[in-house]
Structure 1
């Protein structure tokens, strides 16, 4: 990975893990805990691609495995986030722009369900049956719901930061209104660009009308003389 990607990924992962452990885990919500670390990995993976997503996911998962109050075998969550980051990075388009929010939303839901299943499956292999006692269906539904509600506040910002630090021309032009950033379509679904184009066309029509009226005025003045 590039140095600038590492310098961005490390603080984002650390902050996400601290918030998840110190705040989200203490909310005592029914079912699963909102996975802020997973959403951070997804945002980076959808910009860095499958290789970068796998590396970030492995590092983030390994940090979560050793950070207190971890009560599972080291490497378990690293495997889960590594696989999740890899598959999330596969949806990165070649043009760098997503046309709708359907893709990222589907990725969040699939990642929440897939990571929960994979985590429970790896736990079953090592003798951890906690997911079976809690209720796996309830964990799957709550994990998908919490992550989907939290995603619009996390994933677009992470993607925007990743593109800015990568010196992506799409991100730079998107900041001035000339092009759309990959994360801008998450909440607006591209409607801002459509409205802007309509306003530009309307302004052009008004300018042409003023030019024609000015020409008519000059012709009438000649006739009066």
Structure 2
């Protein structure tokens, strides 16, 4: 039962992040770039739950973001980007749990990697409307947005997932 509860909790966090990111945060978009809440959820899950859960969550969150309207790109690009970001977060998860600054740096690195992979695959597949020169500003804006929202989201998410993990270990 605890595995089902954990899965439901993570799924709820991912769906809520994608819905807010797609439906609500469009009003604060800067040059079409919004904070990537789904990525912050993926990083939090990976840091607390480990690489296996993190990669599965990353794939599901990325695919959900790929398929959520108004997607104007080939499906799978965000899924690939999030999986690579989750692998990066998994490599530094023990350090990221030690301090808030390390967690923020992990989100920043994952944001840079995920957004860069998404932009690069768009250029590679001919699926991106932006010229190559503007991609750098989009990656920078996405990184900036994610670093701004990470201190607000990462600690509560980590506490939520950690609290459930502590209950699991006690049982």
What TM-score bracket applies, with the shorter chain setting the length?
A: 0.7 to 0.9
Q: Give runs of aligned pairs for residues 18-97 of structure 1, distance below 5 A.
A: 18-30=19-31, 32-93=33-94
Decide which structure has the larger Cα Rg and report it: 1
SS for the counterpart of 2:71 is coil
Q: Distance in 1 between matches of 2:43 and 2:84?
A: 11
The alignment's TM-score, normalised by the length of structure 1, stands at: 0.68
SS for the counterpart of 1:166 is helix
Normalized per residue, the structure richer in helix is 2
- Which 5+ residue runs of structure 2 have no aligned equivalent? none
Aligned-residue CA RMSD in angstroms? Answer: 2.4
SS for the counterpart of 1:33 is coil
CA drift of 1:38 comes to 0.7
- Which 5+ residue runs of structure 1 have no aligned equivalent? 173-225
Q: Distance in 2 between matches of 1:17 and 1:98?
A: 24
Contact kept, 8 Å, 1:47 with 1:89, in 2: the verdict is: no
Larger RCO: Structure 1 or Structure 2 (Cα < 8 Å, ≥ 6 residues apart)?
A: 2
The alignment's TM-score, normalised by the length of structure 2, stands at: 0.88
Q: Distance in 1 between matches of 2:60 and 2:159?
A: 21
Higher mean displacement: 122-131 or 81-90 = 122-131
Q: Distance in 2 between matches of 1:166 and 1:7?
A: 14
Contact kept, 8 Å, 2:73 with 2:128, in 1: the verdict is: no
* Runs ≥4 residues deviating over 3 A: none
What residue is the counterpart of 1:3 in the other structure?
Answer: 4
Aligned residues: 169
Higher mean displacement: 126-135 or 157-166 = 126-135
SS for the counterpart of 2:166 is coil
